[in-house]
Amino acid sequence: MEEKSKKESFQSSPHIKEVFDFLPFGICILNQSGIITDANKTFLKVSEYQANEVLGRPFSMFFLNPKEIEKILHQIVETKSFLFRELILISKNKKEILTRTFFSLKSNTEGKVEGYIVGVEDITQLKELVGRLEEEIERKTLALEQKIKELEEAKEKEVILRIRERAKSRDIEVKVEELEKVKSALMNILEDIEEERKKTEEEKNKTLAIITNLNDGILMFDKEGKISLVNPQIEKFFQIKSEELIGKTISDLAQISQFKPIVELVGDELKQIFREEVEIREDLILEITTIPMMKIGEKIGTLMILHDITREKAIERMKSEFVSISAHQLRTPLSAIKWTLRMFLDGDLGELTKEQREYLEKTYQSNERMIRLVNDLLNVARIEEGRYIYKLVLADLIPICQSLIDLYKDEIEKNNLTLEFKTQDNLPKVKVDVEKISLAIQNLLENAIRYNLPGGQIEIELKKREKTIEFSIRDTGIGIPKDQQNRVFTKFFRAPNATKVDTEGSGLGLFITKNIIEAHGGKIWFESEEGKGTCFYFTLPAES
């Protein structure tokens, strides 16, 4: 039967069997019942069966699911179609072999279905390969995905990093900018400091140059009272080297005989003094001033300034002698005339006729004017000498004014003038050189009398004004022409209208008065209208 089927199968073309055997996939010819009638070598190889174990047996029995095969065969008969299925072949050695099996109807030449042609392709390897490939692909995909993920992450990180870096760099830029600003500010400060330093250095050099070249002697005592600076003038004054003085205290100086008078003056505590005179030797008179050196409220030392007044003193003495001699020389003949005339007029030198008396009286008055002029000149000389105000005492201005008014009472009456003196109660006292302040008021009163109009008035007033006492004297006299007013206090000045009234004035009175008032720390001024009168004012500091 086997032979027969063989003949039946491949007899038509013996070559076809060879071709079949040569095919890379298994071929089985089945009869209408699904029995294998022929199988090629490839099928036998795949199924690991011998030909005799295959032929005559149902094709379905070689597969894992025989029923499925039967169903397929039945199906293709019905549909007359061609069909592929992946099916598991069970080999002789019970190996499960995945196959791609295709089913086709086998028809005879008349077109009658006489069985089936089944192709069995072992796709285990292919499947494995595909599986491996798929795995590989899977793996690669995973790896790729991983890589992508990583890359994405990396990219992300990089982006973040970049962003951060950018932010950072922006921060840095801002910071750098800030730093640049700070740097520039610091540079400016440094420049300023440098400039300040230079200035300070320059100032220091200047100060040092001043101290070195100063005509005054300078001794600087530090916080501990030790001498820290000695200028060359000190060396010159005391004929001593600065090294011998540096580091010494004021008490140490008491050991040097020349310094003794200074030490006695300032004491061990270096007390503050202002322009105190000290005679060191016959040829050296010094004026000592000590000033505490302060730094933010703290005493950091004492500066002693020694001003040489030897020459000033000599000049002062000479001036004084000059004034004294001048006074003597000028006054001696005047006093001789005054006394002689006075004794004649008093009848001490015999009786006079009326005419003689009149002449002598006039001569006496002329002499008196001359005496006043000399007095004025001597006063001016002393003002210019610089030490005119001599003795300051606490005084009340009311009695001073009153006694002057009394002194001029006769003259006021003679000129048909009226005088009013107004004062306030509790008027504070003033610190004045009484003789000088009397002279100042006397000059003003004399002017008010001399330059008044017949029947005129004089009003003197003393009142307190803020921290001063204000004196005023108002007259109803000739006044001072406006264009002459700025010259009123000038030495030897006399207004033309005043000269017409009285040819005798020296032009010194108001100059002397102004100097006296100002030497007392006061102020003097006036208001005047020509033909109507003048009011002179002065103030003096009131003593509380």
Partner 1 sequence: MPKRILLVEDEEIIVDLLEKKLVKEGYEVLVARDGKEALEKMQAMDPKPDLVLLDIIMPKMGGFEVMEEMKKNKTLQKIPVIVISNSGQPVELDKAKKLGAKDWLIKTEFDPQEVLEKVKKQIG
- Alpha-carbon distance of 49 to 45, in angstroms, equals 7
Among 37, 233, 302, 375, binds partner 1 (CB under 8 A): 375
Separation of alpha carbons 417 and 427, rounded Å: 27
Nearer to partner 1 among residue 126 and residue 325 (C-beta): 325
328 binds partner 1 (CB under 8 A): yes
Angle at 397 between CA 395 and CA 403, to 5 degrees: 110
Residue ranges in 427-446 that form contacts with partner 1 under rule CB under 8 A: 435
Q: Which two tokens stand for residue 46?
A: 């795949």
Should residue 325 be labelled a site residue for partner 1 when binding is judged by CB under 8 A? Answer: yes
**418 contributes a contact to partner 1 by CB under 8 A:** no
Taking CB under 8 A as the criterion, the residue among 211, 229, 371, 427 binding partner 1 is: 371
Using CB under 8 A as the binding rule, whether residue 334 contacts partner 1 is answered as yes
342 touches partner 1 (CB under 8 A): yes
Q: Smallest gap, in angstroms, from Cβ of residue 346 to partner 1?
A: 6
Tokens of 65: 């699911």
Neighbouring-strand partners of residue 526: 536
Residue 346 sits in the site that holds partner 1 (CB under 8 A): yes
Q: Indicate the residue among 226 and 331 with the shorter CB distance to partner 1.
A: 331
Residue ranges of E strands in 411-456? 418-422, 430-432
350: Cβ contacts below 8 Å, ≥ 6 apart: 344
Q: If we measure between CA atoms, which residue out of 400, 438, 392 comes closest to residue 421?
A: 400
> If binding is defined by CB under 8 A, does position 340 make contact with partner 1?
yes
Query: Token pair 């174990």 is at which residue?
Result: 53
One of 36, 118, 218, 382 touching partner 1 (CB under 8 A): 382
Nearer to partner 1 by C-beta: 174 or 349?
349
CB-based contact 79:66 (threshold 8 Å): no
Binding mask 281-320 for partner 1 (x = CB under 8 A): ---------------------------------------x
Q: Give whichever of 23 and 352 is closer to partner 1, judged by the CB atom.
A: 352
Number of residues that bind partner 1 (CB under 8 A): 27
C-alpha closest to that of 441 among 542, 532, 536: 536
324 is a site residue for partner 1 (CB under 8 A): yes
Residues 6 or more apart in contact with residue 440 via CB below 8 angstroms: 512, 513, 516, 517, 538
Cβ atoms of 217 and 235 closer than 8 Å: no
Given the rule CB under 8 A, which of 51-59, 111-119, 369-377, 449-457 is the region that contacts partner 1? 369-377
CB 101 within 8 A of CB 85: yes
How many other β-carbons are positioned within 10 Å of the β-carbon of residue 437? 27
According to the binding rule CB under 8 A, does residue 365 interact with partner 1?
Answer: no
Task: Report if residue 144 touches partner 1, rule: CB under 8 A.
Answer: no
Matching residue, tokens 């009658």: 112
Instruction: Report DSSP state, residue 62.
Output: G
Judge contact between 370 and 351, C-beta under 8 A. Answer: no
Query: For partner 1, which residue of 88, 105, 240, 323 counts as binding (CB under 8 A)?
Result: 323
Which of 257, 390, 496, 500 contacts partner 1 by CB under 8 A? Answer: 390
Applying CB under 8 A, among 343, 393, 394, 407 the residue interacting with partner 1 is 343
Interface ranges with partner 1 (CB under 8 A): 320, 323-325, 327-328, 330-332, 334-336, 338-340, 342-343, 346, 348-349, 371, 374-375, 382, 390-391, 435
